[in-house]
């Protein structure tokens, strides 16, 4: 099939989050922050969208963050279902 594009799990994906996506991301980030030693918690910076409103992660991290929140019947975490992957 010519429509297929080889993609590695370290390639970055770019999405615009819905409100639900932001909630899922913030819960994930808060859980990650809670794992840090107390001395590092004040230095933790929550990820922000770029000037185009997009956010990016390596594919493996994207799946780890949003995978549990995406299932049949769930409100989507992304404004557009199409996810951009850049080499």
* CA torsion, ordered 56, 64, 86, 2, to nearest 10 deg: -150
pTM higher than 0.95, yes or no?
A: no
* Predicted confidence (pLDDT) per residue in 3-54, tens digit: 777 788 898 888 899 999 999 999 999 998 888 888 888 877 888 888 888 8
Give the pLDDT score at 84. 65
Model confidence at 87, pLDDT cuts 50, 70, 90, reads: low
């Amino acid at each position: 099939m010519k429509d297929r594009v080889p993609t590695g799990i370290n390639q970055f994906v770019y999405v615009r989050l819905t409100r639900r996506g932001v909630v899922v991301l913030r819960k994930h980030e808060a859980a990650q922050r809670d794992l840090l030693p107390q001395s590092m918690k004040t230095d933790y910076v929550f990820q922000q969208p770029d000037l185009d409103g997009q956010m990016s992660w390596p594919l493996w991290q994207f799946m780890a963050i949003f995978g549990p929140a995406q299932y049949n019947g769930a409100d989507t975490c992304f404004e557009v279902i199409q996810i951009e992957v850049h080499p």
